[in-house]
Structure 1
Amino acid sequence: MSSYLERETRGKEGGCAVLFCGCDRKTGTTMVSLSAACILGKEKKEPVLWIGCSGEESLLYLEGPVPSLEQHRTELENRMLTADELEALCVKREGSSILNGLFWPRCWQGEGEEGQRTAQALVFALQLAKERFRWILLDGGAFPLNRAIEPLAEAADLRFLVLTQLESAICTAEGILKPEAAGWHPVVNRYFREDPHDLFYLEKRLGCSAIPVEASLYGRRAEWEHKTLLETGGRACRRSLSALADAIRKEGNFCGSL
């Protein structure tokens, strides 16, 4: 499966696929990835597509319905969907195009024929997206719970692991990152500078550099007001999210441009 994914997606001209995945539930993966997508689309004026790939409806706090690619699974599996049709499915939110629920967990049955078909359909969807969007941000949800995470990680050009300063989250992140830390970029969400688990401590334990996203006192407010952290987060939070978006642009330059 790995060779197929690499052959079909890597080195393509056009868009860059960026996977965000949380080391556990409730690390804020959706809010972080969506905020980064909004910065790339709104401030950088580049075409961005955000896709929820956690296997569940991860955009419940956004106002209005968000379409899902699952209803077009047959067309994707048979390579009948076009880039124009995929783009037409999207809804606009704060400068980004958005789709929800790429593939649901019930469709995954290990590495058998059905799993292979799903992986190939996923790759085809990314191929189509790369024809229309400079950046495709994938919200993979919680790493341990997403049965689609392996093909998602293989298909992505960049991979970000979202964690917090909780000891349980750090331990889980250590297991995911080592011994292949070079494949993932840690993002420390809800970061408090005063926490004993500061950036120096975290980078030493994880064995690689990490990107902090400063904690916001209004994170929950963003959800109930149907907004991202760009609108409700404090100055430090917005500044760190902009730094994350800049890191994506810098690391993703090799993906080519439209």
Structure 2
Amino acid sequence: MNLQGHAALVTGGGSGLGAETARELARQGAKVAVLDVNAEAAQAVAAEIGGLAVACDITDSASVQQAIDAAREAHGPARVLMNVAGIGGARRVVGKDGQPMPLEDFKRVIDVNLVGTFNVVRLVAAGMVKLDPLNDGERGVIVCTASVAAYDGQVGQEAYAASKGGLVSLTLPLARDLAQFGVRVCTIAPGLFLTPLLHKLPEEVQQSLAASIPFPKRLGKPQEFAQLAAHVVGNPSLNGEVIRLDGALRLPPR
């Protein structure tokens, strides 16, 4: 699918990988709606790219549907969905104090990263499948964001790795389910990227992390994630695939 003139939704578009993805889609001619729980951050990115900012909590069905409706009113029905919203968090199953991880901490990460992503997919897909097919029979493209932690989860990443592993496992059945409608689904599993979170770390810590990457021996650039996300949209043979974007990184236990 050529992005030019098509409406796109980007969750988590107010910062980091999501913001850069919104910029890249706009650069390629898409009409971009920036969805983020942080309304001010969404507005800043939308103003920069000439898009639409919509406050959206991906764990709340009503909030997501309102965002979809607002974007449709402004740009028309979405043919592209970029699911980038998510949260981190690290906590051991049993802490140094001998106490178990609070179950709510685990549930929160699963609810946002896995259930929240699926929530957006199901609501956006319901609209996509009703669209007229393009010349190649395609109606839409959905890209989700996992992590290399899905494969190489480190100590304390039980909740995060499980949430991202769920997205990895979800990709193929989603693609198979929506194939009959001409809607493709892929997932990107990024490694260590220079997002706002890593920007806050001391320079020596950033350099140490970069040194663990075989090649290129640096932290990933958000633009590289965005370029891959846009490429998935443009390459009709990419479907049902999880793509690691990590410079051959394999995370150690710690």
Please give the range of the TM-score, normalised by the shorter of the 2 chains.
Answer: 0.3 to 0.5
Q: TM-score of the superposition, structure 2-length normalised?
A: 0.45
Q: Could you say which structure has the greater relative contact order, defined with CA pairs below 8 angstroms and 6 or more residues apart?
A: 1
